[in-house]
Structure formats: C-alpha cells, structure tokens
Amino acid sequence: MVDVARAAGTSQKTVSRVVNAEPGVRPETVERVQRAIAELGFRRHDGASHLRRGTSTASIGLVLEDLAGSFYSAVTAAVERSARERGYLLLTGSADGDPERAGRLVQAFAARRVDGLLIAPNLVGDEVLTANLPPDVPAVLLDRPSADHGTDEVLSDNAGGVAQAVHHLADQGHRRIAYLGDDERFWTSRQRRDGFLAACAERGLPTEGLVTLGALDPDGVAAAAAGWAASGVTAVVTGNNRASVAL
C-alpha cells in the first residue's frame, strides 16, 4: 500500500479507503489509485486484515476421511455451495483414513483461524481427533458422532434406512435376504447392521449366516455371495456404495 500511495501521489490512508470501497474519496483520486494498483499488481492480504482487526476470516475447514469417495465428494460439493452462498471460503483436507493426519489437519485449519470446523471422523471415540479439537473454534461432526456425543453432530438415519430396504424387499415377497456391510469398527456400519437385524426380526426373517461385515475384499465378497446363492438367498441389502460395487 505504501508503494501504491507513492505511485498515486496520495496517502496510505487514501489507498486503504479506496481498497475498502469507503466513501469520501474524490472520483479522480479513486481512478488514480486504481490505476496504480493495476500497474503494480497490488493484492490486498485479507488474512492480515482479519488478524489486524480481530474479525472473522470468513472461512470454514472441512476434514474428511477420503475425498475420492463418492459420498464425501457429494458432501464436499454441498458444503462448498452452502459456504459460497454465505460468502465463506471452504478449506478442505483428506485424512486418507489416518486419525493422526485428521488431527494435524484440524490443528492446521485452527491455526489459520477458520471460523468453524466440519469433521468426518474415521472412528467413533478417536482420541487423537478429540484431543485436537480447539475449544475456541465451533466444530460439528459429520456422519459419525463422538464417543460421548459431547460435540455437535449431523448424522444420517443409518439403521432406519437399511430397515426400510428390508421392509421393501419383504413386501416384494423375499424371505431370505442377506446383508453385506463395511468394517464393523465403523459406527455407521454397526448402525446399518443393527437396522437390518431389527427389521428382519420384525418381519420374522432368518439372519443366521446371512450377515457379512468386513473389508470388502473381492475374494471374501465372492465367497459370501456364493454361499448365499447356495442357501436360497433371493435379495441382498448392502451397507454402502463400496459394498454394492464389491458385490
């Protein structure tokens, strides 16, 4: 700004008023300052401005498990759209399934003075992540809760969704329905399994040998599917898109 003021023949305060679109500057002075800004390639440092004023940085940090997954891609797009509509910049990072990295991302975003954090934790009760949640930055957990539900959270009705699928299949006449889900260490996986078991119990459907949870490796999924086919299974409910693809 000192260089712009010198080139425009004005004070630094006048340059500041032009940059911030404040009133009271003569049109010819505004034009002269703007010309100097263009010639010098001046860019306002919003971060420094926010720090100096102690105001909002108009930014939100989003920490996800895996940006490549279709579910988290959809979440990112929705959050970014909502943030943009409200004049916020979204900073996004992927933990790649590593709780330590998730904690480092939380720290990094907090150090950049984001106004809030949205976090999809890897596992419920992740002590690494919980320990790094800054007390002065509002945080909301997505898709999975904290172990003690002590942090604000936005969750899907995992059990209800799978139960609805079971009831739909039962209404179509299916009596032997199998379930293929993700690793049971994940809260979402356990919730969906429980929804399947509850709905089957409600409809009087068998479940023994019809529930498979795991890492969804091709050999394991193929073996489970072959066993189900041999036992007369006529329909399969999957816990997520990865299970559907594996099947």
Q: What is the pLDDT of residues 170-197, one digit of tens each?
A: 999 999 999 999 888 888 899 999 999 9
- Cα dihedral value 94, 96, 102, 105, nearest 10: -40
Query: Nearest CA to 144 among 154, 157, 134, 136?
Result: 154
Same domain, 111 and 124: yes
For the full predicted model, state whether its pTM sits above 0.85: no
Same domain, 175 and 135: no
Q: List 238's β-bridge partners, or say none.
A: 180
**pLDDT tens digits along 20-35:** 778 888 888 988 988 8
In terms of residue numbers, what domain contains 217?
158-246
Residue type, 40: L
Cα–Cα distance for residue pair 37/43, rounded to 1 Å = 8
**pLDDT tens digits along 32-50:** 988 888 888 887 655 555 4
Domain boundary residue among 154, 174, 198? 154
Q: Is residue 215 part of a domain?
A: yes
